[in-house]
Structure 1
Amino acid sequence: MVRRIANSYRESYSGLPRELWIVALSLWINRCGAMVLAYLAIYLHESKVAMPESEAGRMISVFGVGSILGTLIGARLVEAVGAVRVQTLCMLLAAPLYWFIPAWTETWAIVINILLLSSVNEAVRPANSTLIAKLVSREDRSRAFALQRLAANLGFAFGGLMGGVVASYDYRLLFVVNGSTTLVAGLVLLWYFRLQRLPGEAKPSEVRVPGPVTDPVFIVFLGLFLLSTLVFFQLLSNYTLYLHGPYSLSERQIGILFAVNTLIVVIFEMPLVDWVKRWPAVRVVGWGCALSCLGFGILPFGSTFGFAIFGMAIVSLGEMLCMPLAASYAANRSPVGAEGQYIGWWSMSIALAFVLGPAIGSWLYSITPNLVWYASLGIAGVVFVGFYLLPKNERHTHDPHDVLPAPDAGDLLADSAAS
């Protein structure tokens, strides 16, 4: 039994190219320092800036607006200059933008800095996803995206733990650490990939391919995914309020719930994604989105810490099925040369949910706390049926040249000379 489990883990990680592990290492380093966003409102309120609480909270919305702009810009830049170059340069540019924030005391300067930072930061998302899609074959994309999520979750877990320690000394150190890890992550990519284009990346003048706007199936897919992600981002606001209110959970218990989510994802996501590859990706995404919404929707039917853990386990299972498979579907659905556009639109749906989800949820919560969770149950049903009705095939166009081989380091270095 133990040997079978060990073999399952080994198989789920085997066969992925070295370049993908380098990208995962860079992402892990970057996420280890991801501390600023969680403490930004507190810093702006309690530091020399002395921003009112309501105004400090709105800075998160500014970050969200920049995220939307960044995903749009990043998707376009990927096509123009290449995924490696966009991700590397954006990380290098983001580092000083973190360091500058503590220098400002005027609101307008802070707004501009946060808007620039979030735009540059989120331009990395479509570049990173496109880079992953280019590095592996279509069959391995789900595992490749799951590996990146594993790296991100491990980094976030460490960053969240260290963020509290760092903040207890000096909030300004958060910006120093976050900027420094972002710089190191960018330097890792710069050292290994040397800013070259990947094999198979066409130059802008060489390719004219249809974008997502001509693909109604993908538009419906994004709409359903956006609905479920609106629910998922209740984690950032109303979820903790509800646990602290009707459930009467302590901060320590709420922290344990988030740790349960991270632990489940880190341990089980890679083997699970490898196991479900036998089914059509769009169906698995539908199951995942529905389960994630269901995990939130059952909250009004319990009131204990154990029931909250049960709900979080369902959310975590849905997250593991939905997120890596959705990214893989977006990459596989695109024609060759349009991966950046498709992944950019998918990334923008996440950015939109990040902005709209907490706002819509808070409005429903203000009417009655249970309403947001009943709405989540309704959305679970809608997305389950919606994804089931979508065609099972992933491809928008059938191009015999659209499966790119996973390159090795020699391919990459040789290609850099031509670019």
Structure 2
Amino acid sequence: MRKLYNSYINTFRGLSPEIWWLALITLINRAGTMVIPFLSLYLTTDLKLSFAQVGWVMSAFGLGSVCGSWLGGKLTDKIGYYKVMVRSLLSTGILFVALQFLHTFASICIGIFLVMLVADMFRPAMFVALSAYSKTENKTRSVTLIRLAINLGFSAGPALGGIIITTLSYAGLFWVDGITCILATILMVNVLNPKKAKTQDSIINNNPQSAYKDKAFWIFLAAMTMFGIVFLQYFSTMPLYYKKIHNLTELEIGIILGLNGAFIFLLEMPLIKWLENTRYSKPALMVFGAILVGISFIILNVTPWIGILLFGMLFMTIGEMITFPFSNAFAMERAKRGNQGEYMALYSIAFSIAHIFGHNAGMQMADTLGFENTWYIMTLLSVICMGLLWLLMRYLKTHESA
């Protein structure tokens, strides 16, 4: 047991102190965004908005995310990742507090758009900071550590949010959300001062290439958008499938979804450490991850046995654990060719687009075509994702092997 524990701890060794601080800041920030899981409930119960209006609010949410990611990338290249991160965190905290004072449909749409515009400026800047503070050989594991922080934050956030709503009401939730963002800003200013922090990977490119002209990167982004659309079904359409088809209770659904975070926390870092030492390229590993996610959907149509739900979650989680860290590392590696903020903004936008279309498309298909046909379609999208990644490997081999 001690040997297993030591082996697990060793997978975290070699990461810079700045990466650990960045992970803690991310944990506080993500745990603080506890409004998000309760947003639709708040809009329908407290503000009495219709489902159609909530749909438009969520569209404003996704659009703000896309615009914020793009703007964050531009500003990162212009004024630097540190200033963007600090200003984004602080402004997000203030906007979260202000959001509770909006009560009309139009004002809420505008408010949510502005919150996500400012909040998601943080993402491309954080990725550039992650690249700067990581040695080349540690980049994938650094990404994995940040993912662990994000997952822990997303796990703790809803639980804390439920307690706050019960004891303080929704108004308390907005206050706590805002204060945690401000606390994350204070922590960052004190521990990640760029004048004191040690940059591990200084990238100097006198002739930067535009990400918009990088054909290989566009193939990669198309694949990641497809992957994002498929992956997001597990957090929107799949819970409905659990309840309507398999008659699971909210507690049972929560346990199955919770297994995702538990698997990631326990297994992702050792898995990534092991895969880094194999001979496979990052795109090849991403293909394998996409295959596993595709399998997680197709097996649900094979048998009505309730235990298959656990196998589906396991396949999806392992696929996610492989695809996300290596896709992130691939994007950061590719970003060295040009303006890093621009590259990482496009990477973030790929998943923002998946958020805009993925949830709604899955719901609409489940409603009109049924869950069985929806899972076949998601499997097909996984195959398209694999095809795009295979095309990426061929392109890289043909055009950049030298």
Residue of structure 2 in register with 1:243 after alignment: 242
Residue of structure 2 in register with 1:29 after alignment: 28
**Greater Cα shift, 63-72 or 152-161:** 152-161
Question: What amino acid sits opposite 1:219 in the alignment?
Answer: W
5+ residue gaps, structure 2, are none
CA contact (8 A) 2:56 2:109 kept: no
Question: How big is the shift at 1:280?
Answer: 1.0
Percent of pairs with identical residues: 27
Question: How big is the shift at 1:76?
Answer: 0.7
CA contact (8 A) 2:209 2:338 kept: no
Q: How many matched pairs?
A: 395
2:383 to 381, 384, 402: 381
Residue of structure 2 in register with 1:110 after alignment: 108
**Relative to structure 1, is the Cα distance of residues 79 and 389 closer, same or farther in structure 2, using a 3 angstrom cutoff?**
same
5+ residue gaps, structure 1, are 399-419
CA deviation digits over 1:150-171, x for unaligned, max 9? Answer: 0111111111211111122311
CA contact (8 A) 2:53 2:105 kept: no
SS in 2 for 1:171: helix
CA deviation digits over 1:251-282, x for unaligned, max 9? Answer: 11110011100100011011111110122111
Question: What amino acid sits opposite 1:106 in the alignment?
Answer: T
Question: How big is the shift at 1:221?
Answer: 1.3
Question: How big is the shift at 1:297?
Answer: 3.1
CA deviation digits over 1:45-92, x for unaligned, max 9? Answer: 222x32223212331221111000011001111101111221121000
Residue of structure 2 in register with 1:372 after alignment: 374
**Relative to structure 1, is the Cα distance of residues 201 and 175 closer, same or farther in structure 2, using a 3 angstrom cutoff?**
farther
Aligned positions of 1:8-407 closer than 5 A: 8-47=7-46, 49-169=47-167, 170-194=169-193, 199=199, 207-277=206-276, 278=278, 279-369=280-370, 370-391=372-393
CA contact (8 A) 1:291 1:380 kept: no
**Greater Cα shift, 143-152 or 353-362:** 353-362
Question: How big is the shift at 1:209?
Answer: 0.8
Question: How big is the shift at 1:8?
Answer: 2.6
Question: How big is the shift at 1:310?
Answer: 1.1
**Greater Cα shift, 253-262 or 134-143:** 134-143
Matches of 2:30 and 2:186 in 1, distance apart?
A: 15
CA contact (8 A) 1:74 1:86 kept: yes
TM-score by length of 2: 0.92
CA deviation digits over 1:81-115, x for unaligned, max 9? Answer: 11122112100000011001111222222222111
**Greater Cα shift, 59-68 or 372-381:** 372-381
CA contact (8 A) 2:229 2:358 kept: yes
Question: How big is the shift at 1:225?
Answer: 1.5
Question: How big is the shift at 1:293?
Answer: 2.9
Question: How big is the shift at 1:232?
Answer: 0.9
Matches of 2:176 and 2:59 in 1, distance apart?
A: 23
**Relative to structure 1, is the Cα distance of residues 65 and 198 closer, same or farther in structure 2, using a 3 angstrom cutoff?**
farther
SS in 2 for 1:298: helix
**Greater Cα shift, 76-85 or 384-393:** 384-393
Aligned-residue Cα RMSD (Å) equals 2.4
Question: What amino acid sits opposite 2:380 in the alignment?
Answer: G
Matches of 1:108 and 1:226 in 2, distance apart?
A: 29
**Greater Cα shift, 50-59 or 179-188:** 50-59
CA contact (8 A) 1:75 1:344 kept: yes
Matches of 2:344 and 2:238 in 1, distance apart?
A: 28
Matches of 2:321 and 2:234 in 1, distance apart?
A: 16
Matches of 1:110 and 1:366 in 2, distance apart?
A: 27
Question: What amino acid sits opposite 1:223 in the alignment?
Answer: A
List, as ranges, runs of 4+ consecutive aligned residues in structure 1 with deviation greater than 4 Å.
195-203
CA contact (8 A) 1:289 1:318 kept: yes
CA contact (8 A) 1:228 1:383 kept: yes
Matches of 1:355 and 1:33 in 2, distance apart?
A: 22
Residue of structure 2 in register with 1:412 after alignment: none
